[in-house]
Amino acid sequence: MKDILLEVYDVHVHYGGVKALDGASVALDEGEVVALMGPNGAGKSTVLKAIFGLAPLERGEVRWHGAPILPVPHEIVARGISFVPQGRRVFAGLSVEENLEVGGFLVKDKAERKRRIAEVFDFFPVLKHKRALNAATLSGGEQQMLAIARGMITEPKVLLLDEPSLGPAPKIVKEVFIKIKEISERHKTAIMVVEHNLVSLLSIARRAYVLDKGKVVAEGESKKVVESGILEKVFLGAA
């Protein structure tokens, strides 16, 4: 059997009476960028939360190199998985640099942490420029970049990104996606990204999964998935 880096296998998640995931399986290979698509409430965020140990698994498993792992957040981080949740969560009371310090708390060596922060600043010059400012004063796009930058501090093997394009203006969204592409290419980071923007998607993700009502209803090369018309179907509620 091929050794897949990360797999969500037949996962079921219930919230009270709501079935958020109904036997969903997705996979992420070393260094690839994969998109999760689908209408509101389809279960996209729940897939990422399940990987990160933030959703109650009723059935199914999360596998790392083919072996089931216990989805507990600190163990997941220690394996090299980083999660940037929906809604550009930055610590509003802290400066840009302090936000990155917090993101790097697992990097115990202080000099190493400084080195990584410097590297991230090189990657996002706008954040370097505003390093001393309170994160709350950043624009939406800048906060999104900060959230992604914070996720990179641990130098993850896997980056889980939930709707990085939500909020910022199109020009900034484009910039954010160029950065995401660069991250995957430069650091060989495997990225699973929840994305609604088709143009952005095609520019970065080789493969895509379409979720609807907690199930994977299509998967494959992203261009083919888009061309198949399945997205129109699920978004119109006809799948």
Nearer CB in complex with ligand ATP: 86/203: 86
Q: How far apart are CA 127 and CA 121, in angstroms?
A: 6
The one of Mg ion, ligand ATP, none whose footprint includes residue 150, by CB under 5 to 8 A per kind, is none
Nearest to 175 by CA among 207, 138, 203: 203
40 binding partner (options Mg ion, ligand ATP, none; Cβ < 5 to 8 Å by kind): ligand ATP
Are 78 and 106 in contact by the 8 Å Cβ rule? The answer is: yes
CB of 43 to ligand ATP, least distance (A): 4
CB of 42 to ligand ATP, least distance (A): 4
CB of 41 vs Mg ion, minimal distance in Å: 8
CA 193/CA 48 separation, integer angstroms: 9
d(CA 182, CA 145): 13
Contact 165, 159 (CB under 8 A): no
Residue selected from 21, 45, 49, 90 as contacting Mg ion according to rule CB under 5 A: 45
The distance of closest approach from Cβ of residue 234 to ligand ATP in the complex, given in angstroms and rounded to an integer, is 11
Q: Are 190 and 6 in contact (CB under 8 A)?
A: yes
Q: Does 165 bind Mg ion (CB under 5 A)?
A: no
Q: Which is nearer to ligand ATP, 104 or 168 (CB)?
A: 168
Chosen from ligand ATP, Mg ion, none, partner binding at 151 (C-beta under 5 to 8 Å by type): none
> Number of residues in contact with Mg ion, rule: CB under 5 A?
2
Residue type at 89?
A: R
Q: Using CA atoms, how far apart are residues 189 and 71, in angstroms rounded to an integer? A: 20
- Judged by CB, which is closer to ligand ATP: 15, or 105? 15
Site track 81-100 with Mg ion (rule: CB under 5 A), x = hit: -----x--------------
Residues that bind ligand ATP (CB under 6 A): 15, 18, 20, 38, 40-46, 86
Q: Which segment (45-53, 76-84, 184-192, 213-221) binds Mg ion by CB under 5 A?
A: 45-53
Residue 222 contact among Mg ion, ligand ATP, none, beta carbon within 5 to 8 Å by kind: none
192, 211 Cβ separation under 8 angstroms = no
Contact call for residues 12 and 22 (beta carbons, < 8 A): yes
For residue 1 the two structure tokens come to 């059997």
Cβ atoms within 10 A of the Cβ of 97, count?
17
Per the CB < 8 A criterion, the answer to whether 159 and 82 are in contact is yes
- Residues of this chain that bind Mg ion (CB under 5 A): 45, 86
